Amino acid sequence: MTRLTRTVAAATLATALALVSACSGGSDSADAKNGDGKSLEKVTYLTSFGNFGRDSYVWVAKDKGFFKEAGFDVEIKPGQGTGAVIQTIVGGQADFGPIDLTGGLLQVGNGVAKDFVAVAAIQQRTMAAIVSVEGKNIATPKDLEGKKLADTPGSVVRNLFPTYARMAGVDYNKVTWVNGDAQTLMGTLASGQVDGIGQFVVGQPTVEAVTRKKPVVLPYSNVMQDLYGNALITSSKIAKENPEKVKKFTAALLKGLEYALAKPQEAAEILKKNVDTTNPAAAAAELQLMAGYVRSSNSGTAIGTLDSDRVAKSIAILQGAGALKSNITPDQIIDFSLVPKA
């Protein structure tokens, strides 16, 4: 990881953020038809959180024609974390997008959201983490007490923090949270306004590029096992009324994911072509770090699959920590009839 982060440490703040207004790149709808002469169906997709390298696989699927081959003209917009992505999709302003699956469980189990379903895993392990930098006197979870952290209100890192804190022996009431957004979080850390930020572990290269300091990462997965990372969701309405659309879109997106992991440098350049402020070195490094989370290292699990027993264990972890107000089951958040088969 050190070698990867060093490749981007000299990047400037503006380029390293790689976050601008929605930019979908070259349109699949130049002729509004696929190779068979059929009209393309318009689809709106939200990224998980801004326009970082970790989300570049969707631009790969678009650029390489995977969506077009499946019959879709996809518009890509930057998401603002789990809560906002769910709200936008359920509200009908977008069709698909990735959320942290644990964050989705919290939303459903606490009555905050409904009417959406997960249809594929993006990462087999959670990438949620608190990220700080050297000089903040943070080396262990306990060191977070008395510190100020920033994240978006709907982020899974922030919403899952009370559970993480309990399991890690941290007094949650001694930690101060302030609001931030995808465009400014890393800059807030760089300027010294906060001691840490909610982030995915793969954000290390970009954090180092922005802050020009060595990142200190506290992964949630160190204390909470069995939690999935991001999962692709759609509305319950779309899943019920057009399951074939969901399956075709999912297959095309996962094809882009596999391609991006196999060719991270090319994927980073594709992202740069579509999001001008992208730092290609940081984006490629994020993808290299993410590969181990997408392909489970201790099993032969196929990309995209979701296991009901593992999700049940995740629910049990949250229930045991008192993080859920009501009992839920895996079927309430996942449509297993649409999930890729192992």
Parse the chain into domains and list their residue ranges. 15-125+227-332, 128-222
Joined together, the tokens standing for residue 95 give: 């069709």
The confidence score (pLDDT) of residue 297 equals 53
Residue type, 143: D
Q: Are strands 96-100 and 128-133 parallel, antiparallel or unpaired?
A: unpaired
For residue 325, how many other CB atoms are within 10 A of its CB?
Answer: 12
Higher per-residue confidence, 224 vs 96: 96
Write out pLDDT tens, residues 103-147. Answer: 999 999 999 999 999 999 999 999 999 999 999 999 999 999 999
pLDDT tens sequence across 275-329? 999 999 999 999 999 998 998 655 567 899 999 999 999 999 899 888 899 999 9
Nearest-angstrom CA–CA distance, 269 and 274: 9
**Same CATH fold, 128-222 and 15-125+227-332?**
yes
The string over 159-181, giving b where at least 16 C-beta atoms fall within 10 Å of a residue's C-beta and e elsewhere, is bbbbbbbbbbebeeeebeeeebb
Phi and psi based region of residue 74 (left: phi greater than 0; alpha: psi -120 to 50; beta: remaining):
beta
Instruction: Give the pLDDT of residue 6.
Output: 40
Per the model's pLDDT, the better-predicted residue between 204 and 21 turns out to be 204
Would you call 179 helix, strand, or coil by DSSP? strand
Nearest C-alpha neighbor of 126 from the set 225, 234, 253: 225
Cβ neighbours of residue 89 under 8 Å, at least 6 residues apart?
46, 95, 96, 97, 116, 233, 234, 235
CB-based contact 292:82 (threshold 8 Å): no
Q: What is the DSSP string of 182-213?
A: TTTHHHHHHTTS-SEEEEEGGGHHHHHHHHSS
The band of 68, judged by pLDDT with boundaries at 50, 70 and 90, is very high
Burial of 92 by CB count in 10 Å (0-12 exposed, 13-18 middle, 19+ buried)? Answer: exposed
Give the pLDDT of residue 1.
44
Q: Which fold has domain 15-125+227-332?
A: D-Maltodextrin-Binding Protein; domain 2 (3.40.190)
The bridge status of strand 230-235 relative to strand 72-77 is unpaired
Distance, CA of 133 to CA of 143 (rounded, Å)? 13
Pairing of strands 230-235, 96-100: antiparallel
The two structure tokens encoding residue 40: 């393309």
Q: What is the pLDDT of residues 191-234, one digit of tens each?
A: 999 999 999 898 898 899 999 999 999 999 999 878 999 999 99
pLDDT of residue 285: 94
Helix (H, G, I), strand (E, B) or coil at 216: strand
Mean confidence (pLDDT) of the chain = 88
pLDDT at 219: 95
Instruction: Dump pLDDT digits (tens) for 137-184.
Output: 999 999 999 999 999 887 889 988 999 999 999 999 999 999 998 778
The label of the residue with tokens 């490094």 reads 285
- According to CATH, the topology of domain 128-222 is D-Maltodextrin-Binding Protein; domain 2 (3.40.190)
At 15, the pLDDT band (50, 70, 90 cuts) reads very low
Would you give the distance in Å from CA 331 to the centre of its chain? Answer: 22
Sign of torsion over alpha carbons 171, 173, 174, 177: positive
**Average of per-residue pLDDT across 26-47:** 73
Mean pLDDT of 237-260: 98
pLDDT at 36: 62
For 18, other C-beta atoms within 10 Å of its C-beta total: 28
Radius of gyration of the chain (CA): 19
- pLDDT bin (cut points 50, 70, 90) of residue 32 is low
Residues ≥6 apart with Cβ < 8 Å to 333: 101, 104, 105, 108, 116, 117, 118, 311
The three-class DSSP label of residue 133 is strand
